[in-house]
């Protein structure tokens, strides 16, 4: 596995975060009911809606780390936020509907992606994801910034996301 040469800035936003070791518990929560983290809108980027990424789509739309492993080359046309999550993660389930709502509020301005770290383990490894939820903020120009965790309440979590989007993604453009 190729490793990133550049260093992603890591900022812990909250003490509330899932431990990567909790993956063992995922089997207990696999039932037919769809969780908020699984709910992904298929709307167009102008209408909003989060976009679920797999490796092929990531390589095509975000960064082709296989052909450019030593240099970050963002392929998007607008800033993006990537939510690294897992279905068994409680804080991830809290963040998912908030991000879905924000994808509508910021429609046409940013793209909000989701990566299931249990399914896309290689993508999680590329970014060194060890705890979730983790969020990668990708400006059009410059290097991305990583944060992790959510705030103590849903309201504070939404406020945190809005401040990060405005400061890390939209003020730079």
Residue 21 confidence (pLDDT) above 70: no
- pLDDT grade for 172, boundaries at 50, 70 and 90: low
Instruction: Give the contacts of 52 (CB within 8 A, at least 6 positions apart).
Output: 40, 113, 114, 115, 116
Quick check: 111 and 80 in contact, CB under 8 A?
A: yes
What is the tens place of the pLDDT at every residue in 41-68?
A: 344 445 679 999 999 999 999 999 999 9
CA distance 98 to 50: 10
Q: pTM for this structure?
A: 0.76
pLDDT of residue 26: 38
Which backbone phi and psi does 84 adopt, to 5 degrees? -90, 115
Is residue 18 part of the annotated active site? The answer reads no
Q: Which residue ranges form the domains of the chain, and what is each CATH number?
A: 9-25+46-52+77-170 (3.40.30.10)
Q: Which two tokens stand for residue 67?
A: 């052909």
Catalytic residue among 92, 96, 123, 169: 92
- What residue ranges in the chain does DSSP mark as E strands? 9-12, 18-19, 51-52, 80-85, 111-116, 131-132, 134-138, 145-148
Catalytic residue among 37, 86, 89, 102: 89
Which backbone phi and psi does 94 adopt, to 5 degrees? -75, -40
Is residue 92 part of the annotated active site? The answer reads yes
- Mean pLDDT value across residues 6-11: 29
Of residues 107 and 2, more confidence is placed in: 107
């Amino acid at each position: 596995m190729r490793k990133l040469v550049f260093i992603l800035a890591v900022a812990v936003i909250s003490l509330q975060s899932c431990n990567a070791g909790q993956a063992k518990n995922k089997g207990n929560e696999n039932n037919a009911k769809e969780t908020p983290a699984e709910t992904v809108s298929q709307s167009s980027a102008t209408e909003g809606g989060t976009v679920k990424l797999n490796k092929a789509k990531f390589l095509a739309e975000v960064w082709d780390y296989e052909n450019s492993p030593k240099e970050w080359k963002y392929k998007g046309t607008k800033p993006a936020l990537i939510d690294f999550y897992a279905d068994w993660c409680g804080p991830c389930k809290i963040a998912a509907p908030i991000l879905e709502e924000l994808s509508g509020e910021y429609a046409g301005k940013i793209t909000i992606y989701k990566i299931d770290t249990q399914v896309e383990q290689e993508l999680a490894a590329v970014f060194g994801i060890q705890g979730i939820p983790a969020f990668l903020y990708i400006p059009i120009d410059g290097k991305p910034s990583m944060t992790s965790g959510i705030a103590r309440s849903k309201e504070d979590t939404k406020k945190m996301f809005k401040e990060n989007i405005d400061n890390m993604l939209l003020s730079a453009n």
